Amino acid sequence: MEIDKAIRESNDRRLKSKYNNAIYVIKRAFALYAFEEVAFSFNGGKDSTVLLHLLRAGYFLHKETPNYLSEGDTNCEMKCPIRTIYFVSPCAFPEIDSFTYETAATYDLQLENFRIDFKSGLEALLKEKPIRAIFLGTRIGDPNAVGQEQFSPSSPGWPPFMRVNPILDWSYRDVWAFILTCKVRYCSLYDQGYTSIGSIYDTVPNALLGTSDSSTSKENFRPAYLLSDGRLERAGRAKKCSRQDSGSDPVINESRTLTVSVIAVGDEILFGTVEDQLGSSLCRKLRSIGWTVSHTAVVRNDIDSVAEEVEQRKSSNDVVFMYGGVGPLHSDVSVAGVAKAFGVRLAPDEEFEEYLRHLTSDQYTGDRNEMAQLPEGITELLHHEKLAVPLVETAQPLSKLCLEFPDLSIGCFRKSRVGPLIVNFVGKDQARIELAVEALCKKFNHGDFSEVNCG
């Protein structure tokens, strides 16, 4: 099967892992439900296009088992005659409609069109045919993904069926890596700078992909797969005025600007040990690109403090920038705080773990793996090459030191990205601080730290 062959021949370890996990979910669904009891919700977008070809591969691998493979079945490599739901909308891009119908014809999808809302359409479908499970191209980060697992029963008040989400943990990068590796056809809008496609009234090309043509003064756009930060996938979703508001065709509300909250994490800033220069630099940079900073805050190295601040900013719909508290040290709690604010677990990220292995060598396995734990669903990592070498060699001894002196606040940081290490001790009992400093000196060689602060 050409999809499975392309993935097996790829050198992308992360993509192989995502593919294998998705295929497992699909094969599991085919084992649990009869083929006529499953359906596929297709909308012509990139995510459902990926899911279509995963279903083709999963269907082929499922039928490849001797119990299912019948002689003379030569079409399973190209076809997947699964019942397919498509909700037709007068607000859809013509290119999406065309791509959907052409794709259905190419792969023998049993396309069923609905011209009503999603819930009513499902009620009509399930009333007419015994559908027990529906494959969906939902990814973490989608508005409707909150609380879903790879197998999730439908929500209360909806028709009863099992939602099957094979690509729930896939990132924007994973989606495009699959499409480009397998060389599958996708909707032409993605070559015109669209990165997330909704209706014709709320979708424009992503400005981050814009390129100016001096000869024609016309703005052009690079393809969607060149977007470097997948977290900005929905930057092309813009609010538009209604016909009633504008008196003509809908137009983009050009006055809309992004508002930002900036959160710094670090006891050393609150103690006055370090001057926060990054915050002012970041605010100036954001202002220079047209973003409005509405809120800044500094919080303690404490999971609950981080979670509370992120929770508050999340409800304000601001874009949140956070710095500090990221690394293998006992005081690096930012990632855990973000996970708590979003109610998700920390899970290993293959891409980040591979990068950390390159930085730190296999000698620091325990700390490296701990650093690679990211909030589940936070699947995009940017500019790995600009990360400072982690302080893994100091993490374990400092953590033990904190256990020995629970009455002291012990922090380790650098004043700049590649600057020397500084250890900071804060406590009420000066004798205890002196004992902690003495213990520190026994754990490390002379010169490992440029400075030891006591306060």
Q: Answer with the residue of higher pLDDT: 351 or 202.
A: 202
On average, the pLDDT of the chain sits at: 79
Please state the rounded mean pLDDT for residues 172-185.
95
Please state the rounded mean pLDDT for residues 316-341.
81
Specify the range with the lowest mean pLDDT, choosing from 69-78, 247-256, 318-327, 371-380. Answer: 247-256
Length of the chain: 455
Answer yes or no: is pLDDT of 73 > 50: no
Q: How far is CA 187 from the centre of its chain?
A: 22
Specify the range with the lowest mean pLDDT, choosing from 17-21, 254-258, 331-335, 363-367. Answer: 363-367
Answer yes or no: is pLDDT of 326 > 50: yes
Which of 75, 157, 91, 63 is CA-nearest to residue 119? 157
Residue 246: the pLDDT is: 38
Please state the rounded mean pLDDT for residues 390-418.
69
Quick one: pLDDT band at residue 359, thresholds 50, 70, 90?
A: low
**Amino acid (1-letter code) at residue 133:** A
155 secondary structure, DSSP code:
P
Give me the CATH code for the 2-173 domain, please: 3.40.50.620
Q: Answer with the residue of higher pLDDT: 363 or 75.
A: 363
Which of 442, 353, 350 is CA-nearest to residue 390? 353
377 secondary structure, DSSP code:
T
SS3 421: strand
Q: For residue 285, what are the contacts with CB-CB under 8 A and spacing of at least 6?
A: none
Residue 140: the pLDDT is: 79
Please state the rounded mean pLDDT for residues 410-432.
73
pLDDT in tens, 209-241: 998 766 666 778 999 999 988 878 888 876 544
pLDDT in tens, 103-150: 999 998 889 888 877 788 888 888 888 889 999 999 877 777 777 889
Alpha-carbon distance of 431 to 454, in angstroms, equals: 11
Please state the rounded mean pLDDT for residues 258-264.
89
Same fold, 2-173 and 391-455: no
**Contact (Cβ atoms closer than 8 angstroms) between residue 279 and residue 295:** no
Residue 364: the pLDDT is: 46
Answer yes or no: is pLDDT of 254 > 90: no
Q: How far is CA 88 from the centre of its chain?
A: 28
SS3 59: helix
Answer yes or no: is pLDDT of 244 > 60: no
Alpha-carbon distance of 239 to 204, in angstroms, equals: 10
Q: Where are the domains of the chain?
A: 2-173, 391-455
DSSP codes of every residue in 407-419: TSEEEEEESSTT-
Residue 140: phi and psi, rounded to 5, are -55, 135
- Tokens of residue 264, six digits: 């710094």
Check whether domain 391-455 has CATH 3.30.300.30, yes or no: yes
Residue 380: the pLDDT is: 59
Answer yes or no: is pLDDT of 278 > 50: yes
